[in-house]
Amino acid sequence: MSGATPGGTTPGGTTPPGSLGKKAGFVRAARESDAPGLARIQVASWRASLGGLVPDEILAELGSTEAEEQFAERWRDAITNPPSSRHKVHVAVQPDAGGDVSGGTASMAPVGFASAGPATDDDKWPATDAELYELHVLPSADDEGHGPRLLAAVADTLAEDGFRSACTWALSGDSPRLSFLETAGWAPDGAHSNLDMGVKVHVVRLHTLLSPES
């Protein structure tokens, strides 16, 4: 399984795109300057989703200033020096408080991100099998539809890059995330494992077929 830690807030999976209002945003490729923001989003997402699933001291360690700085550096490297051209990081943005996308002048703030690329599991073929490594949305922006937009952007890009299927790992106890993925067309494929986070945390793998790029 991937070295990424599964988990995140429910990524806004039930919000119809037409009802997003003035704060509706979009997805773009990540930039080097996004790295600190991605680390903050990741930490906030973990705090919201991992409570009760991992020991409090582990959660505190993941949310420490030192850890956040390390995460930022890792994301900076993933954005500026990816292992291959098929490793991508997508960022969901929306206007800062009080902003309006339609005006074209609002400052666009990152509120979520997703990373994906070739599958890392031994039973997958990285030439055609992809993996969603991470998907996180700020809890405060959870109902703005960013999760579905990120998932759609990932699927489209993976199909463009020649992948035929994708998989991802999720905590078996994270019912909101499992529901979000299953609603989007992902399904458990029978693989499972345990993530060592001070205690053994059970994780399951889901997969989906990708539509060929027309």
The total number of structural domains that make up the chain: 1
19-24 contacts, C-beta under 8 A, 24 or more apart: 20/144, 20/145, 22/95, 22/99, 22/100, 22/101, 22/102, 23/94, 23/95, 23/99, 23/101, 23/141, 23/144, 24/94, 24/101, 24/144, 24/145
CATH, residue 41: 3.40.630.30
Q: Is 164 exposed, middle or buried (0-12, 13-18, 19+ CB in 10 A)?
A: middle
Which of 6-10, 63-67, 165-169 is predicted most confidently?
165-169
Q: Which domain holds residue 184?
A: 22-209
Give the mean model confidence (pLDDT) for residues 180-200: 93
What's the mean pLDDT in 37-49?
93
Q: What is the mean pLDDT of the chain?
A: 86
Give the model's pLDDT for residue 11. Answer: 53
| pLDDT value at 7 more than 80 | no
Q: Is residue 59 part of a domain?
A: yes
Q: Which of 156, 174, 183 is nearest to 16 (CA)?
A: 183
Of 29-33, 54-58, 67-71, 132-136, the one with minimum mean pLDDT is 54-58
The reply to whether 53 falls in a domain is: yes
In one-letter notation, the amino acid at residue 94 is: Q
Percent of the chain with pLDDT over 90: 66
